[in-house]
Structure 1
């Protein structure tokens, strides 16, 4: 058979399309739609009619324009600002598997096309939360909220809005990629009606998950669910932490390898049937029949797995192979990978935003390039070689995408890849297949899979607990990625290539980036965007102190785990020398447990009446000095009453180049008390406004005494308390103080340095096109909700 090549389609064109989509998504604002439509037409024409470089340029332009049009559509369907915080009665169907948590259920909801709701909501996808209804006998969410079921309910909605911090998760990006129109919660006080119990593939997956939980009487049942049907809802933060530490996340959820196993198995079944029944060859030759059966089986299984990107990529690759077989053409793996990438980008160019796209395609590409003679290698040598290629080749991407590298991963994968892939995963898949034939037929296979999984897990659990298992890395400069990819390419070249040791120098910008630490006598404050709460990192030349740890809702959401800890890692914080918990309210102390579990600060301060584990009282007059920077508590004194907010620890940070004031949630009475006690001690360049800008704080005398250049409000976007209050913003503005909010600008950095105060906000530092509408809203929105506009004298 001759090699199958499609003119104008290959590795170069696939790379050009992908790079075009990436380039578009790096723009801070999209160009007009007519410009993108024109670019699409010109790019397509050049792609079809040009040759060589011209064709690649055309594909690049086509990919950029196509991605821009998709992004414009995704942004246009988001809920208009005029409908924010509104209550809407919507009818539709639950999409995907609901995630049941102790106090709430999260689910995607597709509004019906003919639902009599405002046009911006018809047929749109919503992300909703259903919280506990405390009235007895009305807990519908857990017992009746099933995949595929139809409901009529009342939801309070807002446009997708995420937090912006140093780190690797961007909720707004995910909402745009999934085409989510709005997020909100079910108004359980209003009538809720289930119209249909539900059906379809997702409903069947949910039943299978329930069956696995019932028959597998082991803790590993949640892992069997993930391997059998791609249901990772049962895996908690600690589970994912252990999997990341051992580099096994690519094996625990259904991947392209699992889909390939299913396709290969059914291809063998079809081959056996054609051998046993030769007359079938008169209708369809055996190789073509095996390829078609493999494609059908893999497609069905990808649907069962929820159409995750790695499974879609594998199905497309199998489809390309099937077409080549039907045409009696030989197809290289590299060509099938290129065709699959082109198909994915043409169907959904914004898939390049997902980590799965890069890990799946890049992983296969590295193996194809580095191991072209894999068949000639022994099994052990091939396993070791593939592990070396995967570790080196994917290290730059895992650091850029997740900010971490698993040092234990190569060891763990040497055991997990053969054991899980050849024993655990096949048993889980057999159980799923038998369950599809008859209910209960697959119970024995699932139990066996759990038993086999438990045999290996103690080793991985031990590796995950090792202090060297996971290496967290700071956010690098964008140039670090191409340098690291070049280093990986250089190191994976054949033997005999000179100067491989020089490649280690190219890793340095990625593995040892500049953390931009303050100098002696300087300090940096980073006010994290934690929503309706507070968390501030204070860094000096060699030390770090955390003031408050963000909000938390027990067993539902923990900003310490989801925001503060990842942001600290992204900033390169290796240890915390002290934690100050201003007071015990959940919006300030909720994340303390998660932060302390990861960093174990040796010193903790809190008001003496708040029961913070291991804390010393933050008494007025207490002070310490680090790297030429003085930390001093101004409140409360020893005899101050045990009030909640008014008892907050008030911390002053004084450097050689200015000062910052962090007053927690004190009210105007305490502010006036501080002014009378020692007004000079309140002078500061930066003030984190008390109580998130509440009307009961920021007393005029306190504002005048501080003389601050900048007042920062840490508050959630559109919060129900109305923080920051308009009167408070006006009060600071009249004092010629620049006013900013984390809700408008994201995490904000204040650098007190020799050249003066430097202010940087995350949404300004790293503008994204999915922020464009929010930036426009901030410019025209309510006072205090916009980003910070500060110009030093």
Structure 2
């Protein structure tokens, strides 16, 4: 049965890897496959019977996930209702997350009041209390979990940036059934219809919000209140980015979230408490045996904690396993631990077929599976300390290839950091945080915070040690490394266990694909409404601009560029060009400089700019005539003029760095945000240098740039517009797009195509890859007007 469940889950995963949903007519193959149950269990038909039944379970999982996906895709926001005011009534269906300018929350739509409007039943909304400069907005609202509101909103389809090695937010939204995103209109009337909606899911969220408010009140301005909220109610939104980096670097993120160990610990404490009390009462023992009562109390406590903590996959896995164990103990039966894990796996996937898309799913079930594998065949008594250390070693070794595939890095200090953090967090900090959620138990919160501060201090000492970082390995390399890890974890005395280390080498010694001498690779990274272009030669890498900053803690540098460069095996940048002082071009630079070494910076920004505080790179102004050669590829700076730096009132766009990169196979012109006057200067002074095979469209395709004369001189075979989906500027403008199309240029745009990768090689045709075409998924939004 365990094998059948595993094959069913593989079938669910197979569906999630599809670019398109299958024709549901094929589901009629299931009855034919199910007829294999009628074949003899023994004899020559037994192997065929087993094979057909395994195919049956795979196809069942595949079409179960397909049916679920069809139901979810049936709800979507029509294109005609994007960006339009819609009046509707619904309930705040999540714990509101505080943002810099307001709140973000999920909303269950009950009624749509705007005639003819079609809206999905579950959306994510943002409400703003402050404007872009931080001033309070009049009539701003604050929402709370479980409230029923009548709101006027503007929605858009769930569309996100798409790049290799970067989290797919469209998959995250789809798995959470968020079928549209939008904002509450500030100057439209809003009405609170009910302060509390007494339905089960909303009551849980109301309780979670009350606890979060208590934590914020008691531990106001304390640095680790976000961690305590994560441990008590699963709300990770208040953990600062710097702290997350520390936890990731030391490999303890699994215990900062609601992990299985926390659920098991709490259930075990309740079991012990109830068993201790129950067995001392004859009346209670006569009504129900103490062991059964304790088992029931532990399971119910675990259920309440998991619900209060947001019902994450690791907690779900532990909860279902505990309930299976509880039912077995209640009935007096036994079941192998592997089967218990298999049943928990099945329940998780049946309730949420998209759980297989989450890294936590594989890390959670994988960790438990490895522990069962590594300890199940051992005989004899082992000291508890040695057993614990062996368990840590087994999990670290087996999950290292998976972590490299998912994140491109592995913490080398994880066993040591976990040796300190697990006892503190699981047995002291988490129980105290939960106790502190009860009114008048402030001392427990203060104690939990003090212990967390001590834990963080010890983690900071470990964080100084290096991490293993490399290019993302291929799937076959990860599978081979997993097999090697499992081989190494075989019992002592098994021959040739060292071969497992050899099988792990291909995943650990990945050589990323690089251009050859004379080749030029250009990646127009999808950063939304902004610009960031990676240029690579055989032995060098240059990044032109660093995309926008979203909030004070989130920007393109840490959300997109750092993981993308790591996944591509770019460990350092030889040159970073920051074209001009606009957020959508330099917003991600500061965090990028903290993550990736940069040898030299060319920019039109002053070297005293706050971005460069702490930077050790050599900084030069962009000036015409600057240039160099790398690996047979020529780099030339064409703009701005030296005089422009003395013009204090000059608009930043008119001081954009412009660069031409030329190779034997083709060239690229990087123009940042130049406008018509700057194009005229280039035509008058650099006309001979402007012709290019590839053009990154000036100023994202605005009406103030891409003049006909400029386009006719550049004559690009491919033009890339780096724009954000449904951006408020309307870029690229239709008339500008038409100019390039009339000239005969092929057109690409990041909001429609995702990352655009172009390769130039001597004596070869330009190769172009569009990430959204190359790596399609059925849930990706395709609501574009094709141009």
Same fold (TM over 0.5): yes
Q: How far apart in 2 are the matches of 1:260 and 1:45?
A: 41
Listed one character per residue, the Cα deviations across residues 192-251 of structure 1 (whole Å, up to 9, x for unaligned) are 222233361222222212222332364222222222222212102111111000000011
Q: Does 1:664 align with 2:661?
A: no
- How many residue pairs align between the two structures? 757
Q: Does 1:461 align with 2:460?
A: yes
2:777 corresponds, among 768, 772, 783, to: 768
1:589 corresponds, among 586, 591, 604, to: 586
Could you tell me which residue of structure 2 aligns to residue 390 of structure 1? Answer: 395
Q: Does the C-alpha gap of structure 1 residues 285 and 554 become closer, same or farther in structure 2, counting only changes over 3 Å?
A: closer
Could you tell me which residue of structure 1 aligns to residue 28 of structure 2? Answer: 38
In structure 2, the residue corresponding to 1:750 is in which secondary structure?
Answer: strand
In structure 1, the residue corresponding to 2:244 is in which secondary structure?
Answer: helix
Q: Does the C-alpha gap of structure 1 residues 586 and 610 become closer, same or farther in structure 2, counting only changes over 3 Å?
A: farther
1:236 corresponds, among 240, 247, 256, to: 240
Could you tell me which residue of structure 1 aligns to residue 418 of structure 2? Answer: 413
Listed one character per residue, the Cα deviations across residues 723-758 of structure 1 (whole Å, up to 9, x for unaligned) are 112222221122221111111110111111123321
Q: How far apart in 1 are the matches of 2:606 and 2:397?
A: 52
| Structure 1 gap ranges (5+) | 1-9, 784-793
2:478 corresponds, among 478, 481, 484, to: 481
Q: Does the C-alpha gap of structure 1 residues 608 and 564 become closer, same or farther in structure 2, counting only changes over 3 Å?
A: closer
Deviates more, 1:724-733 or 1:298-307: 724-733
Q: Does the C-alpha gap of structure 1 residues 582 and 375 become closer, same or farther in structure 2, counting only changes over 3 Å?
A: farther
Q: Does the C-alpha gap of structure 1 residues 265 and 242 become closer, same or farther in structure 2, counting only changes over 3 Å?
A: same
Q: How far did residue 19 of structure 1 move?
A: 0.5
In structure 1, the residue corresponding to 2:104 is in which secondary structure?
Answer: strand
Q: How far apart in 1 are the matches of 2:673 and 2:30?
A: 54
Could you tell me which residue of structure 1 aligns to residue 154 of structure 2? Answer: 156
In structure 2, the residue corresponding to 1:67 is in which secondary structure?
Answer: helix
Q: How far apart in 2 are the matches of 1:587 and 1:69?
A: 41
Q: How far did residue 140 of structure 1 move?
A: 4.2
Q: Does the C-alpha gap of structure 1 residues 14 and 374 become closer, same or farther in structure 2, counting only changes over 3 Å?
A: farther
Contact 1:254 1:305 in 2 (8 A): yes
Q: How far apart in 1 are the matches of 2:37 and 2:122?
A: 34
Q: How far did residue 131 of structure 1 move?
A: 2.5
- What is the TM-score normalised by the length of structure 2? 0.92
CA RMSD of aligned residues (A): 2.3
Q: How far apart in 2 are the matches of 1:315 and 1:301?
A: 9
Contact 2:241 2:553 in 1 (8 A): no
Q: How far apart in 2 are the matches of 1:284 and 1:510?
A: 55
Could you tell me which residue of structure 2 aligns to residue 523 of structure 1? Answer: 520
Contact 1:475 1:570 in 2 (8 A): yes
In structure 1, the residue corresponding to 2:642 is in which secondary structure?
Answer: coil
Q: How far apart in 2 are the matches of 1:297 and 1:581?
A: 54
| Structure 2 gap ranges (5+) | 42-48, 197-201, 613-618
Q: Does 1:356 align with 2:384?
A: no
Q: How far apart in 1 are the matches of 2:166 and 2:408?
A: 7
Deviates more, 1:537-546 or 1:527-536: 537-546
2:732 corresponds, among 724, 727, 731, to: 724
Alignment of 1:152-551 (within 5 A): 152-198=150-196, 200-216=203-219, 218-372=222-376, 373=378, 376-432=381-437, 435=438, 439-440=439-440, 442-466=441-465, 468=466, 470-551=467-548
Q: How far did residue 653 of structure 1 move?
A: 0.7
Q: How far did residue 370 of structure 1 move?
A: 0.8
Contact 1:43 1:62 in 2 (8 A): no
Contact 1:91 1:152 in 2 (8 A): yes
In structure 2, the residue corresponding to 1:602 is in which secondary structure?
Answer: strand
Q: How far did residue 374 of structure 1 move?
A: 8.6
Q: How far apart in 1 are the matches of 2:173 and 2:535?
A: 32
Q: How far apart in 1 are the matches of 2:539 and 2:574?
A: 10
Contact 2:527 2:547 in 1 (8 A): yes
Q: How far did residue 474 of structure 1 move?
A: 1.9
Could you tell me which residue of structure 1 aligns to residue 20 of structure 2? Answer: 29
Contact 2:676 2:704 in 1 (8 A): yes
Q: How far apart in 2 are the matches of 1:45 and 1:87?
A: 54
In structure 1, the residue corresponding to 2:635 is in which secondary structure?
Answer: strand
Contact 1:103 1:555 in 2 (8 A): no
Q: How far did residue 430 of structure 1 move?
A: 3.1
In structure 2, the residue corresponding to 1:234 is in which secondary structure?
Answer: coil
